[in-house]
Every structure is written in C-alpha cells, then in structure tokens.
C-alpha cells in the first residue's frame, strides 16, 4: 500500500537528550492511525517532528514522496502554505491567539496562503465552522468567550479550512468529557470517510480510539514497540506494554480479561543502556533484554519489538506471584 507519510528511522534530541529513537512508521492515504503511550514516550515529539517543530537529528520524513526534513526557510514556508499537512495542538486555549476572533483564527491559514479575497475567506471560514458542527455566528467571538469543546472544534475547523490531506492531532480529546470526546473523534472519522483525509490521533482513550481508528502505534521511551491494526493489537497485544495499556483502560463493565496488576513489573528490573527500553518495568524481562529488540513483522501487517513477543503470554498463565520472581 502506498504511504502518504513515510517516517524512516526518525531520531529527535533535545539538548542531547534522545526523545525519539529510530522510529519508522507509515501513514497510509485515507487511514486513521492512533498513537498511544505515556507521558514522555515521545508521541507528541513524533507529531511535532513531522510538523517540523522538533529538532530532527537523524532519519527522514517523506510526505507523498517529498522529503520534509531538508526543507528550510522559503521552501519550508511554501510547503506549509499548501496546507497539505496540519498539526492540531493539544490545548486550544494556548494554540489560539486570545486577541483574535474565531473568524481570524480559522481564516489565518487561508490569509497566509494568499490569493483569496476577504469575502472568499469569510465564506470558507463559515463553511469550515459548519463542517465541525459550530454555528458560524461564533465567528465574531474570541477564544475566551466560548466553551472548551467549542474551542477544540475551532482548532479543527482552522485546520480543515486549508484543505489538508493529513491531520496530526495531539491529544485532541483529553480535556473533554465523554460526549464531547466522541463528538470530536466522530468528526475526524467523518473527514476520513467523506474527504479521504488521513488522520493521526494521539490519545489516552483506547476504547473510543478503537471505535474510529484503523491502526495503532504504541510508543514507549522514545521507541516504537508495537504497531498494527488496532482491533488486533488491543485484543491480542504482542508487546507486554501494549497489554498493560489495554488492561489499564477503565471500563464501565469492569471486565478485564487480564488484570493490569499481573502485567505490572516491580520496577526493579534491570536497566541496560542500549537494551530494551521497557525491561525495567517488564515482568517478563530476561537476560536477553539487555540488547534492544528490533521491530519485526508478525502476522503480516503487525510489528512488535520484544524478545519475548511470542512467549510472555504463556508465562502469564503461571500467576502473578510467579511472574515477579522470574530471574532477570
């Protein structure tokens, strides 16, 4: 399948601190990819790097075949003005200029791109607001005068106005209640379905993510530890960390096929520079984990980076008490 966004061996460092380490990932045209992982896993950095907001130290990012990491200055601005790739910030209150009206915010991309009369921009702003389910009458308000859910949709409208082919959404729903969360995710799914827009969503909420996403990528400690079709990955995780995330997801039914407690390590595991990033927390870590596992394909469309991808589940049957005593 052809990839719209192709990330190869991406490494990002802030002040010599490696935040993202050799991540390779593709986003296909018209798909929704979820990215999950904890604070500090590098998921936001990954999205920011693609948008050109993080210091890339190695690797390449290609959008529809065009190399992005080499773009600078005028060429970078020209590429950005195409609007093909849009990054949606996590906190709409910070991402919107408090002095600008909703109309100015949503129309900003169009105004920057140029070549449109003010009347055209106003029309497109109204259309974008309608598309995200907002009343175009909100256009004259400022960010401080609308609700959190509305602000989030203003951010979305602002990205949609420029006609993107790929949306990168950084935790678009974590500040919202369940109903508003579903509303925003539904909008994203609708965009994919009607306009063929590819979407990357970073979120904590696995259950609603599974409702709309096609694939999921799991990051831990700056590395990609697992990716594949979301239903498969969450139902039968191959990486112990993915399994922990899935088991930790709260459920109104309180049904957890595997209790999260049995997937938690003692935290006293070994730390090996250059070893598996998850080993220190992993209840299944062995001496082998002192070397970093490569991301390798399993089941065709899936990939996992774990030495014990095929065997840890069998040891789970031994019971939580035994698991803690597996010699490192």
Residue 63 binds another protein, judged by CB under 8 A: no
Residue 222 binds another protein, judged by CB under 8 A: no
- Find the radius of gyration of the CA atoms of the chain: 21
Nearest distance from C-beta of residue 289 to another protein, angstroms: 19
Nearest distance from C-beta of residue 226 to another protein, angstroms: 14
Contact criterion met (CB below 8 Å) for 27 and 62? no
Which of 9, 55, 70, 112 forms a contact with another protein (CB under 8 A)? 112
Task: Select the span of 5-13, 15-23, 88-96, 318-326 touching another protein (CB under 8 A).
Answer: 88-96
| Burial class of 245 by CB neighbour count within 10 A (0 to 12, 13 to 18, 19+) | buried
Closer to another protein by Cβ: residue 40 or 294: 40
Q: What share of the chain is helix, strand, coil (3-state, %, to 5)?
A: 40, 20, 40
* Binding positions for another protein, 153-212, rule CB under 8 A: 158, 162, 177-183, 185-186, 189, 204-208, 210-212
**Cα torsion 18, 44, 106, 148: sign:** negative
128: region left, alpha or beta (phi > 0 left; psi from -120 to 50 alpha): alpha
Backbone angles phi, psi at 252, to 5 degrees: -65, -20
Closer to another protein by Cβ: residue 80 or 307: 80
* Binding positions for another protein, 263-282, rule CB under 8 A: 264, 266-268
Nearest distance from C-beta of residue 2 to another protein, angstroms: 23
Nearest distance from C-beta of residue 180 to another protein, angstroms: 8
d(CA 17, CA 39): 15
Which of 154, 244, 277, 316 forms a contact with another protein (CB under 8 A)? 244
Nearest distance from C-beta of residue 98 to another protein, angstroms: 8
d(CA 287, CA 230): 30
């Amino acid at each position: 399948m052809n990839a719209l966004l192709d990330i190869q061996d991406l490494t990002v460092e802030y002040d010599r601190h490696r935040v993202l380490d050799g991540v390779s990932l593709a986003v296909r045209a018209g798909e929704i990819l979820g990215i999950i992982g904890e604070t500090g896993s590098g998921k936001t950095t990954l999205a920011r790097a693609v948008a050109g907001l993080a210091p890339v130290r190695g690797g390449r990012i290609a959008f529809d075949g065009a190399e992005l990491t080499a773009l600078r200055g005028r060429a970078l601005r020209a590429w950005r003005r195409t609007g093909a790739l849009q990054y949606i910030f996590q906190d709409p209150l910070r991402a919107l200029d408090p002095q600008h009206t909703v109309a100015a915010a949503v129309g900003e991309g169009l105004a920057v791109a140029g070549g449109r009369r003010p009347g055209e921009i106003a029309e497109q702003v109204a259309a974008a607001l309608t598309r995200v389910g907002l009343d175009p009458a909100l256009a004259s308000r400022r960010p401080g005068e609308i609700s959190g859910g509305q602000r989030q949709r203003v951010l979305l409208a602002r990205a949609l106005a420029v006609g993107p082919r790929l949306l990168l959404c950084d935790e678009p729903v974590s500040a919202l209640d369940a109903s508003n969360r579903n509303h925003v995710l539904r909008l994203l799914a609708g965009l994919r379905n009607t306009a063929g827009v590819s979407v990357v969503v970073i979120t904590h909420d696995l259950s609603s993510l599974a409702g709309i996403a096609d694939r999921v990528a799991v990051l831990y400690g700056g590395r990609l530890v697992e990716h594949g079709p979301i239903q498969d990955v969450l139902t039968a995780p191959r990486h112990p960390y993915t399994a922990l995330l899935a088991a930790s997801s709260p459920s109104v039914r309180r049904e957890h096929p595997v209790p999260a407690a049995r997937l938690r390590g003692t935290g006293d595991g070994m730390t090996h520079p250059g070893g598996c990033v998850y080993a220190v927390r992993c209840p299944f870590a062995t001496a082998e984990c002192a070397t970093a596992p490569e991301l390798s394909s399993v089941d065709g469309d899936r990939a996992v980076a774990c030495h014990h991808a095929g065997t840890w589940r069998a040891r789970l049957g031994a019971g939580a008490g035994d698991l803690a005593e597996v010699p490192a």
